[in-house]
Amino acid sequence: MTVGILRDALAPAPAAMLLFGNAEAGGKSQLGVGLERALSHGSYVYVSPLRSDGHESSCHAQLWFGWLDGAVIVSSKARCWRAQCVALGLDRARIWVGDYGSWKQPFGINDAFRAGPSFEARASIVEDQSLLQRLLTAYETKYPAEISSWRERIQCGFDDGSRVLIRYALDVASTRVPLQHCLPVA
């Protein structure tokens, strides 16, 4: 999905605005319509694990993802930093949604993704074969040209433990959103 289409999906709110439901309405917090739409239709998420002091890790990743059961689900190498963070108890992450190109450039860092919608999340490793199958089905729809060369690698890696599923769920307690940016829960 192009940046323009993603921004159109978020209109009339600015793309950088976090859109959440009002946590005080019925005790539930939900993603706002614009962010939900971006997660449902976006091509990539950009993930940065958060250090124990709350600052972003210097390690970011542009990832394929599935928006399943109200959470961002990714397949990742078990030895990569984002998976190791979760294993070490550093389970918070910042997530941006959209397609802003590779964050790592030959002559520096492309941080254009920071203009996109974002939220803070709690990460967990999930060992669930049925969730993996649902994720692979989502990948077939979202990434039809690429999935044929990745499907077996992802499946075999999950089976032998060299790949894991990471679930990123909205962390209401850590996400700070100015009240004027909150949308009432329907």
Q: Is residue 180 part of a domain?
A: no
Q: Is residue 185 part of a domain?
A: no
Question: How many CB atoms lie under 10 A from the CB of residue 171?
Answer: 18
The pLDDT of residue 175 is 55
- What is the DSSP-derived secondary structure letter of residue 115? G
Q: What is the pLDDT of residues 156-176, one digit of tens each?
A: 999 999 999 999 998 876 554
The pLDDT of residue 133 is 98
Cβ atoms 120, 172 nearer than 8 A: no
Q: Is residue 164 part of a domain?
A: yes
Average pLDDT (29-35) is 64
Q: What is the CATH number of the domain that holds 127?
A: 2.30.110.10
Is the pTM higher than 0.95? The answer reads: no
Q: What is the pLDDT of residues 99-157, one digit of tens each?
A: 776 666 566 666 777 777 888 899 999 999 999 999 999 999 999 999 999 999 999 99
List the one residue out of 97, 58, 59 whose CA is nearest residue 80: 59
Q: Which range of residues forms the domain containing residue 34?
A: 3-175
The pLDDT of residue 156 is 97
Q: Report the number of distinct structural domains present in the chain.
A: 1
Q: Is residue 147 part of a domain?
A: yes
